[in-house]
Amino acid sequence: MNPLLEKFKTKYTSSPFSDIKEEHYLPAFQELIKTSEKEINEITSNPETPTFENTIEAMAFSGEQLDRVSSIFFNLNSAETNDEIQKIAQDVSPLLTEFSSKISQNEKLFERIKNVYDQKDTLSLNDEQEMLLNETYKGFVRSGALLNEEDKKKLEKINMDLSVKSLQFGQNALASTNAYFRHITDKEELKGIPEAILQQYEEDAKEKGLEGYVITLQYPSYLPAMTYAENRELRKELALANGKKSFDGGEFDNQNLIKEIVKLRQEKAELLGYKNFADFVLEERMAQSPAKVFEFLNELLDKAKPYAQKEIEELKSLAKADGIDDIQSYDHAFYAEKLRKQKFDIDDEELKPYFQLEKVQEAVFGLGKKLFGLEFTEINNIQKYHEDVKTYEITENGNYKALLYADYHPRKGKRAGAWMTSYKNQYKKDGENSRPHISVVCNFTKPTKDTPSLLTFQEVTTLFHEFGHALHGVLADTQYPNLSGTSVKWDFVELPSQFLENYCYEPEFLKTFARHYQTGEVLPTEKIEKLSQSKSFMEGYQTLRQLGFGLLDMAYHTEVGALENKSVKEFEVDKTAATNLYPANPETAASPSFSHIFQGGYSAGYYSYKWAEVLDADAFQYFKENGIFNPEIAEKYKILLSSGGTKNPMDLYKSFRGTEPKVESLLKRAFG
């Protein structure tokens, strides 16, 4: 029996992880694709006149089990993968792409959709139904429904190739990250690195059957070494290894894949009648056009660059005192930490004992309760995909609201970084409000036998960020699964996550959870005030770094043919020159491991992090002016989150705030 082909008989129909074996996936996908095709055929062969209900709505609810299984499989491919799952992914991705192409190029189906769309003004639809109809029609047109047969076949082939190459890009980046580690036996080489981090390095060495210490390119391992190691040569070596990920000409090199992916995306855009891939993508974003994005990024660049340059001059002075006249990018974290300690008397390692993971999670759960009335209870009757994962039942006024999976520690089969995802979307059908299953995945330092998992302040903000996304999913209250939760315009999706980070800097809130894990002592008031003041520390540098990624992403997707006569490295250096504050290293490049745009969904969309910062700064300013826990404003914000993609995001924002967001809110927060 294949559990993926049965109705899940688990509590809340949660994913039956313990029952799933790897050999179940491929047959399940093959069978469920057939089932979903049959559902589509029933819609197209319906003898009745096409209506919103028998065509648009029927489509929205089709393929539910296929969606569930896809979520399980691809989420595990990110959080708990292995060679076998990666191999299955290579087989499954083309099948799903082919299935998706078949639907988007189904002429009978599109004929019915167009029939309904053409009479939409006479249909008396509500806002959500109208949005579903518009998005469905546009989705088909953007997938090639208006193309001739020959071009449809070309598009299908492009989509298939892109699916395989994007997947390969991600697998290469992960393999390249995992392939490197630095083994150290002489503790003197690690001078400056705090004892708690050294313990972690010892644990990592033991896992590999080695004596001494091991540093990897996983961020909880890599970042502390770059921040605290007095050994400049070690920092240089680690930075070089990190910058060479998938850029060393070896087995996992991604340079050719980048060129192939960019070329295929351009071909796709032209086939669909767009000038370039960014034009194609941005039609469906708040920003709407590459010109507007470039204008936005360059305006911020002009305003932030003087602050960034001033920050680097301060670091140069510190380095000069140590006899370093040629400060490099691999010195940045080390001297930034020194400067931060000097300015604010803040030391990440000194702060970490006050940020025990469990206490930070309690705080973030408490914020969910204070703002939105949510309760979180750990439960042990839900199947998990790894023993590290914890499961929570979320309720509101005693009623079940959502499931939450929390997966916090790094392991070999888990990609780097932090993210929120969903195993099941929310929707309403047959009188039932079917609730979502949400997951938050991070890579925080594991507890050791002596010490619980203690977070850097940056990791605290990371947890709040991902929980902001999670709340977007948890509070979802829409009719249709494809407009639910985080199914919003891409440059709107980071608003809830970045908004929640603001609370980490509020003294009255920090005092409620920043307690020493051994003594229970609250983080001293002067430290809390310094933390709050430090929010804009190195903001110029961080802004330029993000703008560099945004401009690079836009260049890849607007400059047709520019890569043909250039190497990836040359292209990257050229496009990020205005944002670079340190000399470029000829041996490193960011693009070959830039998974956000070459594997994830941020292609021609990386700017949205900064775009959403304008939204979040403006939204939090509204709270600050009226009280950070103001119940009336929280209720309006809850409506914004629960509405998902049912309305135009700018309309949703204006309903919440009363006005459009102002870029001045971000500049005020960042630079005073």
Evaluated on CA atoms 624, 629, 631, 634, the torsion sign reads positive
Indicate the pLDDT class of residue 404, thresholds 50, 70 and 90: very high
Position 457 confidence tier, pLDDT thresholds 50, 70, 90? very high
pLDDT band at residue 252, thresholds of 50, 70 and 90? very high
CA distance 647 to 669: 28
Q: What is the pLDDT of residue 348?
A: 82
What pLDDT shows up at residue 268?
97
Percentage of the chain beyond pLDDT 90 is 88
Q: Residue 97 has what pLDDT? A: 87
Amino acid 670: pLDDT: 87
Tokens of 19: 């029952």
In this predicted structure, what is the pLDDT of residue 630? Answer: 97
Q: Which two tokens stand for residue 591?
A: 């693009």
Strand-strand pairing, 399-407 and 374-379: unpaired
Query: Measuring CA to CA, how many Å separate 38 from each of 33, 109, 155, 242?
Result: 9, 13, 23, 48
pLDDT at 102: 87
Q: What are φ and ψ of residue 407, in 5° steps?
A: -130, 100
Tokens linked to 91: 């087989």
The yes-or-no answer on residue 188 being catalytic is: no
6: left (phi over 0), alpha (psi -120 to 50) or beta: beta
Please give the mean pLDDT across all residues of the chain.
95
Q: What is the pLDDT of residue 120?
A: 93
Determine the pLDDT at residue 449: 86
Annotated catalytic residue: which of 80, 466, 506, 572?
Answer: 466
CA pseudo-torsion sign 264, 141, 71, 66: negative
**Are the C-beta atoms of residues 479 and 61 closer than 8 Å to each other?**
no
Report the length, in residues, of the chain.
672
Least confident residue range of 14-23, 207-216, 409-418: 409-418
Degrees, nearest 5: CA angle 494-599-653: 15
List of E strands, 456-565:
none
Contacts of 105-111 spanning 24+ positions with Cβ under 8 A? 105/143, 105/144, 105/145, 105/152, 105/155, 105/156, 106/40, 106/44, 107/145, 108/44, 108/45, 109/40, 109/43, 109/44, 109/59, 109/140, 110/140, 110/145
What are the helix (H) ranges across 353-419? 357-372
CA distance 542 to 382: 40
Average pLDDT over residues 354-372: 97
Inform me whether the pLDDT recorded for 533 exceeds 90.
no
Contact 258, 591 (CB under 8 A): yes
Phi, psi (degrees; rounded to nearest 5) at 387: -65, -25
Which tens digits make up the pLDDT trace of 275-316?
999 999 999 998 889 999 999 999 999 999 999 999 999 999
Which residue segments constitute the domains of the chain, with CATH numbers given? 3-146 (1.20.1050.40), 180-243 (no CATH)
Per-residue pLDDT tens over the stretch 340-353: 989 888 888 889 99
Structure tokens at 443: 């890579």
- Percent of the chain at pLDDT above 70? 100
* DSSP codes, 131-186: HHHHHHHHHHHHTTTTS-HHHHHHHHHHHHHHHHHHHHHHHHHHHHHHH-EEEE--
Poorest-pLDDT segment among 433-442, 482-491, 546-555: 482-491
Nearest residue to 504 via CA among 467, 535, 541: 535
- The answer on pLDDT for 672 being more than 80 is no
